[in-house]
Amino acid sequence: MFGFSRIVSVLAALPLAAVVGAGVAGAEGLKIGFSQVTLQSPFYVQLKNGAEAAAEAGDDTLIFLDANGDVSKQNNDIQDLITQGVDVVIINPVNPDAVVPSLEAATAAGIPVITVDRSINGEGVTAHIGRDNKNMGALVGKAVVERLKADGVEGAKIIEIQGDAGGAVMMDRRDGFHASLEGSGHTILEGPYAEYIRANAVVAMQDLLQAHTDVKVVYAHNDDMALGALQVLQESGRDDVLIAGVDGLSEALSVMEAGGNYIATTLNDPQYLGDVTIQVAREAAAGKKVPGFVDAGTTLVTPENVGEFPHDALFAEYRPEVLAR
């Protein structure tokens, strides 16, 4: 395991990914505001990097503000962006309800609002760019069921390490996974909310393993938490427990490739998500009609196909064509 400070230093050394689809017809030289939920996650750092690269390629100015998980700060940040006269606002909300007043203020000012990764429970959002998290959880769930069947395991206990309490992504990844396990005869134990942070998952897994020695599978709502659980299992000599996650963290694919017990993840390339978000923002700022939801795409990775996906950067690359040219 390595901490976030080291992750940031690694990211700083990585070249920004090439912008996919640069030069999409739309407004040029825009002032784009981006209010991010937090940077205390490698996923969100990479999302920022992808957005910055795409904005730079289009000669746009990106004003990026980090809410650091604080709803009040995020509302103030969005008001600041409105005051600065941005052409379009991108919001990755801390809370889907608490930023509704700021959304309404942007709409009243005639500024299109784009949400990314996490949606907002309010009217007036021009487009949401993300991925089908319910499908991501479902794909992993199906892979777990198939692997247990192939191993001849019945009535397995599956520990689920969850993301953030009440979060839309958490609920979708939970619900999709649970739906795939219905009728399988396996039991899901819903574990604590580890906030998508590896260190939190390590602490949670230490307690869970002591209380549930008969666990057969650990499913975490992201790969960072899954790798934290894997660390505890390895230190405890429990190489009989299968691991599955979400997001396509390259470290998880490398573990999978090496023949460990990491059996499934779904891809969630954050740099591409940032790239697509800027492309859609340009279209919206130009007054063009954009889809209400743009799915940046995902696919399942298992030991059988792991070699098909580039995973030299922090997250595995998956960049399907999602926007009409």
For residue range 198-246, list pLDDT tens digits in order: 999 999 999 999 999 999 999 999 999 999 999 999 999 999 999 999 9
- So what's the pLDDT on residue 40? 83
Q: Please tell me the class of the 133-266 domain.
A: alpha beta
Q: CB burial class (10 A; 0-12, 13-18, 19+) of residue 130?
A: buried
Q: Could you tell me the CA-to-CA distances from 99 to 37, 85, 151, 295, 297 in Å, in that order? A: 11, 19, 47, 23, 26
State the DSSP H helix or E strand holding residue 189, giving kind and residue range, or none if neither: strand 187-193
In the predicted model, what is the mean pLDDT of residues 71-82?
Answer: 97
Q: Indicate the CATH number of 4-130+270-295 among 3.40.50.2000, 3.40.50.2300, 3.60.15.10, 3.30.470.20.
A: 3.40.50.2300
Q: CB burial class (10 A; 0-12, 13-18, 19+) of residue 149?
A: exposed
User: Which residues, 6 or more positions from 64, have their beta carbon under 8 angstroms from its beta carbon?
Assistant: 34, 36, 48, 51, 52
- Cα–Cα distance for residue pair 230/202, rounded to 1 Å: 8
Q: CB burial class (10 A; 0-12, 13-18, 19+) of residue 65?
A: middle
User: Which residues, 6 or more positions from 283, have their beta carbon under 8 angstroms from its beta carbon?
Assistant: 24, 26, 290
- So what's the pLDDT on residue 15? 34
How far from each other are the two terminal CA atoms of the chain, in whole angstroms? Answer: 42
Domain 4-130+270-295 and domain 133-266, same fold? Reply is yes
State the DSSP H helix or E strand holding residue 301, giving kind and residue range, or none if neither: strand 300-301
Range name among 13-22, 115-124, 291-300 with the lowest pLDDT average: 13-22
Instruction: Enter the pTM of the model.
Output: 0.83
- Axis crossing angle, helix 168-181 with helix 133-150, rounded to the nearest 10: 30
In the predicted model, what is the mean pLDDT of residues 107-111?
Answer: 95
Q: Give 21's pLDDT tier (boundaries 50, 70, 90).
A: very low
Range name among 18-32, 72-86, 179-193 with the lowest pLDDT average: 18-32
Q: Is 191 helix (H, G, I), strand (E, B) or coil?
A: strand
- So what's the pLDDT on residue 315? 97
| Cβ atoms 159, 218 nearer than 8 A | yes
- Cα–Cα distance for residue pair 92/25, rounded to 1 Å: 25
Q: What is the DSSP letter of 247?
A: B
Instruction: Name the residue ranges covered by the structural domains of the chain.
Output: 4-130+270-295, 133-266
Q: Single out the residue of 253, 325, 312 nearest to residue 17, CA to CA.
A: 312
- So what's the pLDDT on residue 122? 83
- So what's the pLDDT on residue 51? 98
User: Which residues, 6 or more positions from 72, have their beta carbon under 8 angstroms from its beta carbon?
Assistant: none
Q: CB burial class (10 A; 0-12, 13-18, 19+) of residue 305?
A: exposed
